[in-house]
Amino acid sequence: MSKSISIFDTTLRDGTQGEGISLSADDKLKIARKLDDLGVHYIEGGIPGSNNKDIEFFKRVKEFHLNAKITAFGSTRRKNSVAENDDNLQRMIDAGVPAATLVGKSWDFHVHTALQTTLEENLAMIGDSIAYLKRKGLEVIFDAEHFFDGYKNNPEYAAAVLAKAREAGADWLVMCDTNGGTLPNEIQDIVSGMAGNLPGASLGIHTHNDCELAVANTLSAIGAGARQVQGTINGYGERCGNANLCSIIPTLQLKMGYHCIPGDSLPQLTNTARFVSEVANVNMPVNQPYVGTAAFAHKGGIHVSAIMRDSRTYEHIAPELVGNKQRVLVSELAGQSNVLSKAQDMGLSLDPSSEQARKVIDKIKNLEHQGYQFEGADASLELLLREATGEMNELFTFESFKMLVEKTAGSPVVSEAFVKLKAGGENLYTAAEGNGPVNALDNALRKALLPYFPQLDEMHLSDYKVRVLDEQDQTAAKVRVLIESRNYTNTWSTVGVSSNVIEASWEALVDSMRYALLGQISRENDKKSSSEPRGLVNH
- Residues 137 to 176 in contact with its own copies, rule: CB under 8 A: none
Cβ(266)–Cβ(322) below 8 Å:
yes
Q: Could you tell me the end-to-end alpha-carbon distance of the chain, in angstroms, rounded to an integer? A: 62
Q: Does 278 bind its own copies (CB under 8 A)?
A: no
Asked if residue 3 binds its own copies (CB under 8 A), the reply is no
Region of 4-12, 197-205, 313-321, 522-530 interacting with its own copies (CB under 8 A)? 313-321
Site for its own copies, residues 32 to 61, rule: CB under 8 A: 50-51
Q: Which stretch binds its own copies (CB under 8 A): 159-167, 338-346, 349-357, 456-464?
A: 456-464
SS3 49: coil
From 165-173, 196-204, 292-300, 351-359, span contacting its own copies (CB under 8 A): 292-300
Contact between 289 and its own copies per CB under 8 A: yes
- Local structure of 455: helix, strand or coil: helix
474 DSSP assignment: G
Chain CA centroid to CA 110, Å: 34
269 near its own copies, judged by CB under 8 A: no
User: What does the DSSP assignment read for 284-308?
Assistant: PPTT-TTTSTTTTEE-SHHHHHHHH
Rank residues 102 and 441 by Cβ distance to its own copies and give the closer one.
Answer: 441
Distance CA 210, CA 217 (A): 11
Among 3, 59, 62, 255, binds its own copies (CB under 8 A): 255
- Interface region with its own copies, contact rule CB under 8 A, candidates 224-232, 258-266, 315-323, 529-537: 315-323
Which residue type, as a one-letter code, is found at position 200?
G
**Residue selected from 465, 487, 525, 538 as contacting its own copies according to rule CB under 8 A:** 465
**Number of residues binding to its own copies, judged by CB under 8 A:** 129
**Residues 182, 140, 118: CA angle, nearest 5 degrees:** 60
Report in angstroms how near the CB of residue 198 gets to its own copies at its nearest: 24
Residues between 436 and 455 that touch its own copies (CB under 8 A)? 436-439, 441-442
Strand 139-145 and strand 99-105: the pairing is parallel
User: Which is closer to its own copies, CB of 127 or CB of 180?
Assistant: 180
**Sheet holding 460-468: strands in order across?**
460-468, 479-486, 491-498
87 binds its own copies per the rule CB under 8 A: no
Choosing from 297, 321, 392, 423, the residue that interacts with its own copies (CB under 8 A) is: 297
Q: Is 198 near its own copies (CB under 8 A)?
A: no
The nearer residue to its own copies, 483 or 521, going by C-beta atoms, is 483
Least Cβ distance, residue 278 to its own copies (angstroms)? 11
- Based on the shown chain and the rule CB under 8 A, indicate whether residue 191 belongs to the binding site for its own copies: no
CB of 521 to its own copies, least distance (A): 23
Residues 62-81 that bind its own copies (CB under 8 A): 75
Task: Candidates 399, 426, 457, 524: give the one binding its own copies (CB under 8 A).
Answer: 399
Residue 305 CB burial class (10 angstroms; 0-12, 13-18, ≥19): exposed
Nearer to its own copies, 169 or 285 (CB): 285
Under rule CB under 8 A, residue 253 binds its own copies? no
Helix (H, G, I), strand (E, B) or coil at 420: strand
Nearest Cα neighbor of 483 from 458, 506, 453, 455 is 506
Choice from 82, 329, 330, 537 touching its own copies (CB under 8 A): 329
Length of the chain: 539
Residue from 62, 135, 239, 359 in contact with its own copies (CB under 8 A): 239
Q: Which of 42, 58, 132, 290 binds its own copies (CB under 8 A)?
A: 290
Residues near 412 by Cβ (< 8 Å), separated by ≥ 6? none
Please tell me the distance from the alpha carbon of residue 398 to that of residue 421, in angstroms, as a whole number.
5
> Measured between alpha carbons, how far is 324 from 414 in angstroms, rounded to an integer?
46
The footprint of its own copies on residues 404-443 (CB under 8 A) is: 404-409, 413, 415, 434-439, 441-442
**Torsion-angle region of residue 227: left (phi > 0), alpha (psi -120 to 50) or beta?**
alpha
The reply to whether 313 sits near its own copies by the rule CB under 8 A is yes
Task: Choose which of 202, 271, 500, 525 interacts with its own copies (CB under 8 A).
Answer: 500
Q: Which stretch binds its own copies (CB under 8 A): 126-134, 165-173, 198-206, 304-312?
A: 304-312
3-state SS, 181-206, equals CCCHHHHHHHHHHHHHHCCCCCEEEE
Instruction: Supply the DSSP string of 311-368, one letter for each residue.
Output: GGGT-SS-GGGGT---EESSS---SHHHHHHHHHHTT----TTSHHHHHHHHHHHHHH
Q: In this structure, are strands 139-145 and 172-177 parallel, antiparallel, or unpaired?
A: parallel
> Is residue 93 within the footprint of its own copies (CB under 8 A)?
no
Residues 467-486 that bind its own copies (CB under 8 A): 467-472, 474-477, 479
* Residue 328 contacts its own copies per CB under 8 A: no
Q: Which of 61, 403, 497, 518 binds its own copies (CB under 8 A)?
A: 403
Q: Quick check: 215 binds its own copies (CB under 8 A)?
A: yes
Nearest CA among 420, 416, 418 for reference residue 436 = 416
